[in-house]
Amino acid sequence: MLRIQNVSKTYPNGTQALKNVSFDVKDGEFLVVIGLSGSGKSTLLRCINRLIDPTEGQIFLDDVDITAAPPAKLRQIRRKIGMVFQQFNLVKRSSVMTNVLSGRLGYVNPWTSLIGLWSADEKKRAIEALGRVGIADKAGARADALSGGQQQRVGIARALMQEPNLILADEPVASLDPVLSHSILQYLEQLNKEGITVICSLHFLDLVHRYATRVVALKDGIKVFEGSAQEIDRARFKEIYGEEAQEVRAASV
Amino acid sequence: MTNAAATRPPVTRSGVASALMPGLGQILLGQKYRGGGILIGFLIMLGTVAWYKDPAWYFSPAVIWLWNIFDAVSLAGGKARSILLPLAAGLLAAYGIGWQVVGIDFGKADLDRAAAILRPMANPDFIQTRREKNEMWVNIQVPCSSEPPLARREDAGRVAMVIPDCGTVGETLIVSASGMWPDTDTEVLWRTPIGDPKMVGEGESQMLVARSDESGVVTTAVRVPTTALVAAPDPTLAQFHRVYFYQYRPLGGIELSYVGGEVVKGALATVSMALLATGLAMLFAIPLSFLAAHNLMSGNPLTYAVYVIVRTLFNILRSIESLIIAIVFVVIVGLGPFAGMLALAVHSVAALGKLYSEVIEGIDQGPIEALRASGANWLQTVRYAVIPQIVPPFTAFTIYRWDINVRSATIIGFVGGGGIGFLLVELIRVNNMRGVSAAFIAIAVVVIVLDYFSAKLRERLV
């Protein structure tokens, strides 16, 4: 469904975050992107929904060139791509309900949304989305009153409001403890089994082994590996993470 | 020692250098800042003492000079000396001179005068028992014309009269009124043709009070006040003055006194002046604050220039006390709350603009990114990711500013900015200490109440 073709990104300060990266993502995959901090994982994910514009290369979603989409078209493409963030990126002062509803902004009438009016239909959808991640009872709470794990579940519910075909998860569990990490990734796995393609960047290799159907590894912006998680042996690991690296394991469930 | 090439031993050399110029020895030993500090401290001390011209204080620079030689010698031996001694000498001289300059003299305190001011203040003129008034007056010619009319007036069954029918300044007249309330204390007051009240009691500084008899007749002697003609265009021209009789009796209950009413009006004027100023300031500060937010404006050189200009403007306006701005506006728009309001508004635009822009600089970019990613348009992103983040702190800062402005508005009243401060100055000028006390209490109550509620409100917002 997604084809990434020779994508490069050079920031204005000269940093080359991505160098000629190409790979395909098939429908229904749980693709995990690994690599050291600064290897270009976040940049890659943000190029897919063009939060960051790639300097070179093209990205096709179902044969539509995202990189060439004009603003209105881009918003249409974006609303089918959900995104989950390391820092959750919720509006902390707003209620959980408002945060989840805001995932729907791409679909609703822009003018009624500006005065904060939401149809009963959208509200029902929001409660359902919260129900799918098990926190329907928290709808009225302020976002910052929730624990980290709960906030990330609100983040997933917000992405679900977009009725996405694809979810981009940028280190969704890096701010959470290992037990919570599994719980969040299981929600993503569940959504994946329901047919949503997931592209997720992760740090812990055991999580990669547990959840990934396929792995892409980046090092200094270059794709250094593409294949199944099982293929990552000691040698590959050292190649991706450097000679000094020691594998750290997240606690298992 | 680095300066090993010196011909004399470094100990003597640095000692002599410091004796010639304080700090020089230390500088030669490589301690630039220590030496410079000593030199500056010594010069400031010497300058202060020389300016004050009291030879006794020369001990202070002398101590610093001696210590500095000692320190230089000691430093050459590798050991720095504590700066406690010169610091103490400097501070002692500074405080001593300060004491004399300020003219501290506890002997000047006059307890009687303090009591005369504080006693009426213990009884603030704010409320009084409700009472009804019985007022009567009669015309009297001063000075006499060739044929003065009868000094007699009838009104509603009451008769007031003066004997003789005219008078000159200092002459004693007999005034009387009949048909008044019986057995009631009656205030007798002289009013000049322009209505100026003149008290005719003891020393012309106290109210003359006479009591009516059981048939309602008041009779008393009144000396034509010495100041009765000061405002007259021609003191030889006969004019009609008036003698007033006032009687009061309680109606039960209490009411605001006249001064009390003025105090309430003044307090309201002050609070609303602050409210208006804050509102006006907010209108200007909100758009300006976006121009003064570094994260929004640092993109290209043009916007950055705007940012620098707005920031500089804010800093300049903020550094001018609103009291000073008020003096300027009093000249432009005249005395009154309007001038005070404008002054507060100008100062508040800068203060609020700076606070707002810091809020904008501190917003979390995460939600903005998240909403852009979900396909929201620009306006929707602002509405759902930016506004929820800035409205509560903006409101909190605005309420806080209002709180500050009420305090400032009080002081601004002193320079003619209207409101309770202006009233307070007027009351002090006419030595109405009971009124002053009422105004003090009103200010304290307004400030405390507002402080409390603004704190509560802000607590909920943040």
- State pLDDT tens for residues A96-137: 999 999 999 999 998 999 988 999 999 999 999 999 999 999
> Is there a domain that residue B110 lies in?
no
pLDDT confidence band for A1 (50 / 70 / 90) = confident
- Which of B68, B102, B136 delimits the end of a domain? B102
Give A-chain residues touching B300 at CB under 8 angstroms: none
pLDDT confidence band for A88 (50 / 70 / 90) = very high
Amino acid letter for position A215: V
Least Cα separation, residue A126 to chain B (angstroms) = 15
| Span A8-48, pLDDT tens digits | 999 989 899 999 999 999 999 999 999 888 899 999 999 99
Amino acid letter for position A203: H
Give B-chain residues touching A49 at CB under 8 angstroms: 373
Same domain flag for B428 and B316:
yes
Interface of B with A in 381-440 (CB under 8 A): 383-385, 388-389, 392
Same domain flag for B250 and B271:
no
* pLDDT on residue B418: 81
Whether A91 sits inside 8 A of B376 (CB atoms) is: no
* pLDDT on residue B8: 61
- Distance in angstroms (rounded) separating the CA atoms of residues A16 and A10: 4
Per-residue CA distances from A39 to A89, A146, A218, B139 (Å): 22, 31, 6, 103
- Distance in angstroms (rounded) separating the CA atoms of residues B226 and B82: 73
Whether A106 sits inside 8 A of B376 (CB atoms) is: yes
- The answer to whether the peptide bond before residue A71 is cis (omega within 30 degrees of 0) is no
Give B-chain residues touching A102 at CB under 8 angstroms: 371, 374, 376, 384-385
Handedness of CA A207, A210, A213, A215 (dihedral sign): positive
> CB-based contact (8 Å) between A125 and chain B?
no
Whether B364 sits inside 8 A of A76 (CB atoms) is: no
| CATH architecture observed for domain A1-78+212-253 | 3-Layer(aba) Sandwich (3.40)
Least Cα separation, residue A116 to chain B (angstroms) = 9
Sorted by sequence, the CB contacts under 8 Å of residue B394 that are 6+ apart come out as B286, B356, B359
| Span A205-220, pLDDT tens digits | 888 989 999 999 999 9
Phi and psi based region of residue B218 (left: phi greater than 0; alpha: psi -120 to 50; beta: remaining): beta
Same domain flag for B403 and B390:
yes
> Is there a domain that residue B299 lies in?
yes
> CB-based contact (8 Å) between A82 and chain B?
yes
Same domain flag for B340 and B434:
yes
Same domain flag for B251 and B349:
no
| Span A56-74, pLDDT tens digits | 999 999 999 999 999 899 9
- Distance in angstroms (rounded) separating the CA atoms of residues A106 and B379: 12
Contact between B67 and B86 (Cβ < 8 Å): yes
Mean pLDDT of A87-93: 93
User: CA of A104: which chain B residue's CA is closest?
Assistant: B374
* pLDDT on residue B11: 82
Contact between A10 and A17 (Cβ < 8 Å): yes
Whether A105 sits inside 8 A of B366 (CB atoms) is: no
Whether A114 sits inside 8 A of B392 (CB atoms) is: no
- The percent of residues above 70 in pLDDT, for chain A, comes to 96
Per-residue pLDDT of chain B (462 residues; tens, 9 = 90+): 444 444 567 788 888 889 999 999 888 888 889 999 999 999 998 888 888 888 888 888 899 999 999 999 888 888 888 889 989 998 998 898 888 888 888 888 888 888 888 888 898 888 888 888 899 999 999 888 888 899 999 998 999 999 988 888 889 999 999 999 999 999 999 999 888 888 898 888 888 999 999 999 999 999 999 888 887 888 888 889 999 999 998 888 888 888 999 999 999 999 999 999 999 999 999 999 989 988 878 777 888 999 999 999 999 999 998 889 988 999 999 888 889 899 999 999 999 999 999 999 999 999 999 999 999 988 899 899 989 999 989 999 999 999 899 989 988 888 888 889 999 998 998 888 999 999 999 999 999 998 898 888 888 876
Same domain flag for B312 and B445:
yes
Contact between B281 and B399 (Cβ < 8 Å): no
Domains of chain A, residue spans: 1-78+212-253
Per-residue CA distances from B51 to A208, B57, B58, B262 (Å): 80, 11, 11, 50
Structure tokens that stand for B342 in this block: 């404008």
> CB-based contact (8 Å) between A152 and chain B?
no
> CB-based contact (8 Å) between A78 and chain B?
yes
Half-sphere exposure of B75 (CA within 13 A, CB side): 28
User: CA of A108: which chain B residue's CA is closest?
Assistant: B376
Best mutation target, A93, A107, A112, to test chain B (most B CBs within 10 A): A93
- Distance in angstroms (rounded) separating the CA atoms of residues B155 and B21: 93
| Span A216-240, pLDDT tens digits | 999 999 999 999 988 887 778 888 8
Give A-chain residues touching B369 at CB under 8 angstroms: 51, 85, 89
> CB-based contact (8 Å) between A42 and chain B?
no
* Number of folded domains that form chain B: 3
Burial of B51 (0-12, 13-18, 19+ CB in 10 A): exposed
- Distance in angstroms (rounded) separating the CA atoms of residues A126 and A103: 9
> CB-based contact (8 Å) between A175 and chain B?
no
| B152-155 sheet: strands from edge to edge | B152-155, B158-163, B172-178, B218-223
Same domain flag for B331 and B451:
yes
List the single residue in B372, B380, B383 with the smallest CB-CB distance to A51.
Answer: B372
Handedness of CA B218, B224, B225, B230 (dihedral sign): positive
Nearest Cα residue to B139 out of B163, B162, B168, B170: B162
Whether B388 sits inside 8 A of A158 (CB atoms) is: no
> Is there a domain that residue B173 lies in?
yes
Nearest Cα residue to B45 out of B66, B30, B59: B59
> Is there a domain that residue B423 lies in?
yes
Same domain flag for B284 and B147:
no
> CB-based contact (8 Å) between A103 and chain B?
yes
Contact between B441 and B124 (Cβ < 8 Å): yes
- Which of B239, B255, B271 delimits the end of a domain? B255
List the single residue in B367, B377, B379 with the smallest CB-CB distance to A90.
Answer: B367
Whether B375 sits inside 8 A of A162 (CB atoms) is: yes
> Is there a domain that residue B399 lies in?
yes
> Is there a domain that residue B115 lies in?
no
> Is there a domain that residue B48 lies in?
yes
CATH of the domain at B233: 2.60.40
> CB-based contact (8 Å) between B182 and chain A?
no
Whether B375 sits inside 8 A of A78 (CB atoms) is: yes
Same domain flag for B186 and B290:
no
User: CA of A170: which chain B residue's CA is closest?
Assistant: B370
Give B-chain residues touching A100 at CB under 8 angstroms: none
* pLDDT on residue A250: 59
Chains A and B: how many Cβ contacts under 8 Å? 84
Least Cα separation, residue B35 to chain A (angstroms) = 45
List the single residue in A85, A106, A110 with the smallest CB-CB distance to B370.
Answer: A85
Same domain flag for B306 and B451:
yes
Give A-chain residues touching B359 at CB under 8 angstroms: none
> CB-based contact (8 Å) between B462 and chain A?
no
Q: Is A4 helix (H, G, I), strand (E, B) or coil?
A: strand
Q: Is A56 helix (H, G, I), strand (E, B) or coil?
A: strand
Q: Is the pLDDT of residue A87 over 80?
A: yes
Contact between A155 and A135 (Cβ < 8 Å): no
- Distance in angstroms (rounded) separating the CA atoms of residues B426 and B423: 5
Interface of A with B in 104-123 (CB under 8 A): 104-107, 110, 113-114, 116
Per-residue CA distances from B157 to A181, B124, B133, B153, B327 (Å): 99, 38, 16, 10, 54
Whether A105 sits inside 8 A of B376 (CB atoms) is: yes
- Distance in angstroms (rounded) separating the CA atoms of residues B1 and B298: 51
Cβ neighbours, 10 Å, residue B301: 7
Q: Could you give the angle at which helices B258-291 and B301-319 cross, rounded to 10 degrees?
A: 160
With tokens 């999580």, the residue in question is A207
CATH of the domain at B273: 1.10.3720.10
* pLDDT on residue B1: 45
Amino acid letter for position A60: F
Whether B376 sits inside 8 A of A75 (CB atoms) is: yes
Same domain flag for B288 and B355:
yes
> CB-based contact (8 Å) between A165 and chain B?
no
- Distance in angstroms (rounded) separating the CA atoms of residues B182 and B216: 4
Least Cα separation, residue A3 to chain B (angstroms) = 19
- pTM for the full predicted model: 0.67
- Per the structure, the complete domain to which residue B450 belongs is given by 259-461
Per-residue CA distances from B50 to B36, B46, B54, B100 (Å): 21, 6, 8, 15
> Is there a domain that residue B108 lies in?
no
Per-residue CA distances from A248 to A34, A86, A178, A204, A207 (Å): 14, 19, 11, 7, 11
The rounded mean pLDDT for chain A is: 91
- Distance in angstroms (rounded) separating the CA atoms of residues B60 and B253: 68
Whether B385 sits inside 8 A of A91 (CB atoms) is: yes
- Which of B228, B255, B282 delimits the end of a domain? B255
> CB-based contact (8 Å) between B201 and chain A?
no
Cβ neighbours, 10 Å, residue B279: 13
- Distance in angstroms (rounded) separating the CA atoms of residues B14 and B2: 13
List the single residue in B367, B369, B374 with the smallest CB-CB distance to A106.
Answer: B374
Same domain flag for B377 and B405:
yes
Contact between A28 and A195 (Cβ < 8 Å): yes
Structure tokens that stand for B196 in this block: 């100026």
Whether B367 sits inside 8 A of A91 (CB atoms) is: yes
Per-residue CA distances from B388 to A54, A118, B354, B363, B372 (Å): 31, 17, 19, 10, 16
Whether A79 sits inside 8 A of B388 (CB atoms) is: no
> CB-based contact (8 Å) between B4 and chain A?
no
User: How is residue B147 annotated by DSSP?
Assistant: S
User: CA of A168: which chain B residue's CA is closest?
Assistant: B373
